[in-house]
Amino acid sequence: MPQPATPYPSVTTVGASSDTTSATTSATTSATTSDAVDDAVAGALEEEQAALDAAWSRRATVLDELEVTLTAARPEDAAARARIARLRARRAELRAADHGLVFGRLDGDDGSVRRLGRVGLPGATEDDEPLVVDWRAAVARPFYTATPVDPQGVRRRRHVRTRGPEVVGVDDEPLDGGLDDSGLVGEGALLAALDERRTGRMGTAVATLQREQDDVVRADARTPLVVQGGPGTGKTVVALHRVAYLLFAQPHLAERGVLVLGPSTRFLDYIAQVLPALGETAVVSATCDTLVPGVRPTRAEGRDVAELKGRSSWLPALRRFVASLEPDDGPLALALDGEEHVLSAAQLAAARRGAVGAGSYHQARERVTERVHELLVDAVADRQAELLARAEEGFEDVLGQLDARLAAADDRAVPTGATGSDVDGVLSESDLEALRVRVAADRGVAAALDAWWPRRDPAAELARLLRDADLLAAHATDLTAADVARVVAEPAGGEDGWSSSDVPLLDALADLLGDPLDGAGDETGEDTRDGVFVAARAAARRDWAYGHVVVDEAQELSGMQWHMVVRRCPTRSVTAVGDIDQASSAHRQTDWGEAVGDALGDRWRRADLTICYRTPREVMELTVPVLRRAGSRNAPPRAVRSAPVAPWRAETDERTWPAVVSDAVAGMAGRYAGGTVGVVAPTTRLAALRDTLPDGVPVLSATDAKGLEWDAAVVVDPDGITAEPRGWNGLYVALTRCTQELGQIAVL
């Protein structure tokens, strides 16, 4: 492979077999004899194999000790249960570390030697240095960030390539020379990883994270982070490793779990093994379409309507709509024991003022209902006192004489145990409490309150709003009459089903209405072994608050979908990664400020990934005019690799194009055995391609291909892709899916 034009630090690569052994040496490296090189290679491999053997042995010992501790542990209280959960998480982490148990080494200027791995392993005694340092620990950071210009106390960095318990290669990188800072580290290990075959599953990359990527991984989580990165810059793997790092550095986040939002279920399948492979299991993966339990979109709708429904202005519109659902001011008549009691408008207004700030519609309803019950109890007590007063009128003298006689005979009286209204008609505290219970349980009172302030179902209310032009116009005041007509023309809810853009509206309305049932969704004290139950419980709750949220392909989210994200992480511990130039959804945002400003305000910061590791330089050069046509405001990332096969273009016609594509895919499949060849085409050609090509060949639209990568890619009918909505953005996506070879087949 031709060397990239960018200068790299000096790297020496050694390996154990012909398929993993390579050697690249700086031109300034002194010549050595063949025997000396062989001895150095053998010595490095032997040294690292001994270290890896010791790590595997130590891991087995630690796992045995954990099993003994867990067997004896008793969940006697919350602290004990929390400790057990941590021990189980540690066990799961160690069990998952078969690959990359040791992947790096740092030799310090002070003579220290630290080996890095997927998990930390302590020494045999408390006084011993760690046998392996966890890659997320602060002392491991120079492995990713040190350069010859800024060595950070490191004399040499070594990348150790392993296959299970076997060391298969070593890359040495001296950092004590005066070489230029290229912004890259570990060239040998990085390029070896990039040249691996794509299997349809994303792998971990902790051994090859680069400096700007590591800056993102370890960034402060207190401020929302938006990461802009073009194709091949490692956005997704960086975001997922950031999750692993945050769960290590801030373990309290695991108590609430982590939500990973992706653009499609296919994409989630692609990344599914990354976090579990890093030992993090309290993770929920979802798309915006699946965030509301029990609701799945079943209906497609036009892009114009999707754009209208995605606007953040729906949030105040829905607030106005929910406020209109509360009862009007006016008196309320309630009957108890066949007697009617009327609560005045002033009393009810005061009760409602007391519920201000209660939160949702149903929370306010419950608070007002409690106050109305008290008002009814007061009304009943006042009525009884009034009736007693009327009954006593005209009998004052008789009652006075009776009271005097009873007082005179008090020492001879026989106690009856009667109190309160049994004696003087005035309700005692026990009488009042009994009355409160009776009022709360009275079905007639409950029915009257339900009619006055009914419980509301979010789905039914949203469907009613979206179907009623007058109602919608009254509350969605930013929509024009034409906009309202377009929205109302689309079916919504019930037998018609929901669209993707309806889901954020339903989520927002459900949040504003709240849960109509007291205590619904209460958490239980069930076992949270290895974090799996946390994930299952969180996925089942619409109102779950996560410890952290990762949003991949974040440029695709509408304003209302961004509000869904913030609703699930009130602390705004959010990492969003994407490429605004690859946007294909219906919304019109063209920069990150427009995309996230409504939901995040000014409290977010941007980071940029500028180096393309995946897509070859020759392919990225093809994207420059495409980005210009797409209206991009960003510079494309700088590619650091050359393609083993130059990008090519073929032309065909409407009659023969399926056969031409089939031949091209077959040829690529032969060249990249064990890898993947993908096909990207306009949506109108997908069915024919899937009928023509073998099962297992990915055939996708540009939108569905986003975030995926293959060894080789065939872009069919590029002009047809550009003719689709946001088509130049789509062509940019299509051209940048390959790691080795790109072919374009034009249909004339």
The reply to whether 95 and 161 lie within a common domain is yes
Q: Is residue 627 part of a domain?
A: yes
| Three-class secondary structure assignment of 522-579 | CCCCCCCHHHHHHHHHHHCCCCCCCCEEEECCHHHCCHHHHHHHHHCCCCCCEEEEEC
Q: Which of 612, 638, 668 is the last residue of a domain?
A: 612
Q: What is the pLDDT averaged over residues 688-700? A: 96
How many other β-carbons are positioned within 10 Å of the β-carbon of residue 351?
19
Location of structure tokens 């941590």? 86
Tokens 């009271």 -> residue:
403
531: left (phi over 0), alpha (psi -120 to 50) or beta: left
Q: Can you say how many angstroms the Cα of residue 186 is from the centroid of all Cα atoms in its chain?
A: 30
Q: Tell me the range of 77-86, 269-278, 695-704 where mean pLDDT is highest.
A: 695-704
Q: Are residues 187 and 251 in the same domain?
A: no
Do 88 and 142 share a domain, yes or no?
yes
Residue for token pair 């990207």: 680
**Region of poorest pLDDT, from 74-83, 396-405, 422-431, 539-548:** 396-405
Better-scored residue on pLDDT, 96 or 455: 455
Assess if residue 204 is contained within a domain. no
Which whole-number Å values give the CA distances from 104 to 78, 95, 142, 262, in the listed order? 38, 19, 11, 31
Residue for token digits 């953005």? 729
Output the CA angle 195-245-61, nearest 5 degrees.
Answer: 90
- Looking at residue 312, what is its pLDDT? 96
CB atoms within 10 A of CB 347: 17
Residue 645 corresponds to which amino acid? V
Residue 474 is assigned to a structural domain of this protein: yes
Which residues touch 137 (CB under 8 Å, ≥6 apart)? 120, 248
Higher-scoring residue by pLDDT: 409, 576 = 576
Dist. CA 188–CA 82, nearest whole Å: 42
Q: Of the segments 98-107, 260-269, 308-317, which one has the largest average pLDDT value?
A: 308-317
For residues 703 and 354, which has the higher predicted lDDT (pLDDT)? 703
Between residues 243 and 200, which one has the greater pLDDT?
243
What tokens were used for 373?
A: 């019950």
Q: Do 160 and 264 have their domain in common? A: no
8: pLDDT strictly greater than 50: no
Among candidate residues 317, 730, 371, the one with its CA nearest the CA of residue 556: 730
How many angstroms separate the Cα of 613 from the Cα of each of 11, 126, 277?
17, 41, 22
Residues 608 and 628 in one domain: no
Threshold 0.85, pTM exceeds: no
> Which CA distances in Å does 341 have to 180, 209, 381, 660?
87, 73, 11, 84
Task: Classify residue 113: in a domain, yes or no.
Answer: yes
Q: Is the dihedral of CA 498, 503, 507, 512 positive or negative?
A: negative
**Residue 445 counted as domain residue:** yes
Tens-place pLDDT, residues 267-304: 777 666 566 555 566 788 899 999 999 999 999 999 99
Check residue 306 and give its pLDDT. 95
Contact 26, 202 (CB under 8 A): no
Question: Domain total for the chain?
Answer: 4
pLDDT digits (tens, 9 = 90+) for 479-516: 999 999 999 999 888 888 999 999 999 999 999 999 87
Q: CA quadruple 59, 64, 65, 70: dihedral positive or negative?
A: positive
> Out of 172-181, 201-210, 320-329, which region has the weakest mean confidence (pLDDT)?
201-210
Rounded-to-integer distance, Cα 687 and Cα 703, Å: 16
- Structure-block tokens of residue 202: 């994303």
535 or 155: which leads in pLDDT:
155
**Does pLDDT of 704 surpass 80?**
yes
For residue 655, the model assigns a pLDDT of 96
Query: In this predicted model, what pLDDT tens digit does every residue of 427-462 receive, in sequence order?
Result: 678 888 888 999 999 999 999 999 999 999 999 999
Label residues 168-193 b or e (16+ Cβ within 10 Å = b). Answer: bbbbbbbbeeebeebebbbbbbbbbb
Q: The domain spanning residue 723 has which CATH number? A: 3.40.50.300
Return the minimum-mean-pLDDT range out of 229-243, 378-392, 690-704.
378-392
Q: Is residue 415 assigned to a domain?
A: no
- The bridge status of strand 611-612 relative to strand 738-747 is unpaired
46, 184: one domain: yes
Considering the domain architecture, whether residues 186 and 244 belong to the same structural domain is answered as no
Are 39 and 96 within one domain?
yes
Structure tokens at 685: 């050609």
Q: How confident is the model at residue 346 (pLDDT cuts 50, 70, 90)?
A: very high
Are 661 and 674 within one domain?
A: yes
For residue 132, the cross-strand partners are 121
- Range list of H helices, 326-395: 345-353, 361-392
Residue-level pLDDT at 79:
85
Under a CB-based contact definition with an 8 Å cutoff, are residues 613 and 230 in contact? Answer: no
Which is higher by pLDDT, 355 or 59? 59
Residues 469 and 431 in one domain: no
Q: Look up the domain containing 341 and give its range.
A: 327-396+425-452
Of the candidates 434, 452, 470, which is a domain's last residue?
452
d(CA 27, CA 340): 100
Residue 187 near residue 9 (C-beta atoms within 8 A): yes
User: Which of these three, 577, 612, 647, is where a domain ends?
Assistant: 612
Higher pLDDT, 392 or 519: 392
The whole-angstrom separation of Cα 359 and Cα 335 is 29
Residue 246: which CATH number? 3.40.50
Which range among 118-127, 165-174, 441-450 has the greatest average pLDDT?
441-450
Cα angle 653-654-658, degrees, rounded to a multiple of 5: 90
Q: What is the 3-state secondary structure (H, E, C) of 35-88?
A: HHHHHHHHHHHHHHHHHHHHHHHHHHHHHHHHHHHHHHCCCCCHHHHHHHHHHH
CA dist 574 → 198, 219, 277, 566, 726 (Å):
29, 11, 22, 8, 27
Q: Which whole number is the average pLDDT over 693-710?
A: 92
286/273 same-domain check? yes
48 and 184 assigned to the same domain: yes
Asked if residue 531 belongs to a domain, the reply is yes
**218 within some domain:** no
